[in-house]
């Protein structure tokens, strides 16, 4: 199965449908009057569809097991056709499209099995996804805005040439994945004055939309990035780093020790990230592309618009 551990939990909804077409008008009458020998077609199809939804991962090889928080199987007669609609909700890292379609398909197959003894011309029509909601695709309306970022690596060892920078490179790669341009990449030592100078450059003299500073968020004596940056912000945004630490804590017990801060300076969003490659990558996975919605809100768009 694909690795989805880098994804965040979101509420996800999928609705699918299947069609069952009968060949004899009397079949519909027998269904509605509960005269099918094998039992109540609608109730049996509903039960089968619910079981299918919950057991999708057991029969679809690359489908991830996930918690089904809500499921509904609804049937309606439309002329000579029975339309089955299946709706599935979850709060998880991956969507429930396959679960919804599997439920619809099995509900339709159950109807077929129950009706074929009395109607030799019954057949299953299409099974299709009607709509879905949630996941990364719902939060990517910002892509292509032409946002510009500066990546500043705060590290004594990297600036002295004793160590290769990997965290900054990983951050640039992630930004590129979200179509954010990175015209500035700077490496500086863990000195408060150097950090302050870089901050003022990219929020004042050469302002960018995003300033990402990696390194110096831990607890060693030379880790001074949060203390240097926090007093310079116009408005801190605590939820950004709360989300990052929560995401990281699910993957390593040491994420709680990160002291990163985030906030606005003028029109620039400033985020401080851990200096380790893993910590920087996980922070990017936790925050992007979702945090970029901030720039749409700043333009007057509502949070629920997209």
Give me the pLDDT at residue 303, please: 46
Give me the pLDDT at residue 300, please: 53
Residue 239 near residue 248 (C-beta atoms within 8 A): no
Please tell me which residue, 302 or 258, carries the higher pLDDT value.
258
Give me the pLDDT at residue 146, please: 85
Give me the pLDDT at residue 193, please: 97
Q: Are residues 109 and 195 in the same domain?
A: no
- Boundary (domain end) residue, out of 81, 106, 136: 136
Rounded average pLDDT over 71-79: 97
Write the secondary structure of 139-207 as one string of H (helix), E (strand) and C (coil).
HCCCCCCCCEEEEEEECHHHHCCCCCCCHHHHHHHHHHHCCCEEEEEEEECCCHHHHHHHHHHHHHHCC
Q: Is residue 56 domain-resident?
A: yes
Q: Are residues 290 and 171 in the same domain?
A: yes
pLDDT tens per residue, range 105-152: 999 999 999 999 999 999 999 999 999 998 655 555 445 478 999 999
Domain boundaries, position 59: 10-136
Answer yes or no: is pLDDT of 305 > 50: no
Q: Are residues 52 and 86 in the same domain?
A: yes
Q: Are residues 115 and 18 in the same domain?
A: yes
Catalytically annotated residues: 113
- What is the domain-level CATH number for residue 50? 3.30.70.640
Q: Which residues contact 87 (CB under 8 A, 6 or more apart)?
A: 13, 14, 15, 70, 71, 72, 74, 100
Q: Which of 147, 122, 118, 22 is nearest to 78 (CA)?
A: 22
Torsion on CA atoms 186, 189, 195, 199, rounded to nearest 10:
0
Q: Are residues 87 and 160 in the same domain?
A: no
Number of structural domains, the chain?
2
Residue 188 near residue 168 (C-beta atoms within 8 A): no
Cα 84 to Cα 20: distance, rounded to the nearest angstrom: 8
Greatest pairwise CA separation for the chain in angstroms: 85
Query: E-strand spans in 31-140?
Result: 70-78, 81-92, 123-133
Q: Are residues 122 and 214 in the same domain?
A: no
Q: Are residues 148 and 292 in the same domain?
A: yes
pTM above 0.85, yes or no: no
pLDDT tens per residue, range 11-55: 999 999 999 999 999 999 999 999 999 999 999 999 999 999 999
């Amino acid at each position: 199965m694909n690795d989805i551990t880098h994804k965040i939990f979101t509420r996800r909804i999928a609705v699918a449908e299947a069609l069952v077409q009968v060949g004899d008008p009397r079949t519909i009458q027998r269904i509605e009057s509960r005269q099918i020998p094998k039992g109540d077609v609608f109730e049996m199809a509903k039960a089968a569809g619910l079981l299918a939804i919950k057991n999708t991962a057991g029969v679809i090889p690359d489908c991830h097991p996930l918690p089904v928080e809500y499921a509904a199987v609804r049937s309606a007669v439309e002329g000579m056709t029975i339309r089955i609609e299946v709706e599935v909700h979850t709060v998880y890292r991956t969507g429930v499209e396959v679960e919804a379609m599997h439920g619809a398909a099995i509900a339709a197959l159950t109807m077929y099995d129950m009706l074929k003894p009395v109607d030799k011309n019954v057949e299953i029509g299409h099974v299709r996804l009607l709509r879905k909601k949630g996941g990364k695709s719902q939060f990517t309306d910002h892509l292509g805005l032409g946002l510009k970022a500066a990546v500043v690596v705060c590290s004594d060892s990297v600036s002295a040439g004793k160590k290769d920078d990997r965290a900054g490179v990983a951050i640039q790669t992630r930004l590129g994945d979200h179509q954010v341009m990175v015209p500035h990449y700077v490496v500086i030592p863990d000195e408060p004055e150097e950090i302050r100078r870089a901050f003022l450059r990219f929020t004042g003299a050469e302002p960018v939309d995003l300033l990402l500073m990696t390194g110096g968020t831990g607890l060693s004596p030379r880790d001074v990035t949060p203390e240097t940056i926090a007093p310079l912000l116009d408005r801190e945004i605590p939820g950004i780093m709360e989300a990052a630490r929560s995401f990281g804590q699910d993957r390593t017990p040491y994420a709680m020790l990160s002291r990163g801060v985030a906030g606005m300076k003028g029109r620039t969003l400033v985020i401080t990230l851990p200096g380790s490659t893993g910590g920087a990558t996980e922070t990017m996975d936790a925050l992007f592309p979702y945090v970029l919605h901030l720039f749409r809100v700043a333009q007057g768009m509502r949070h629920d618009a997209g």
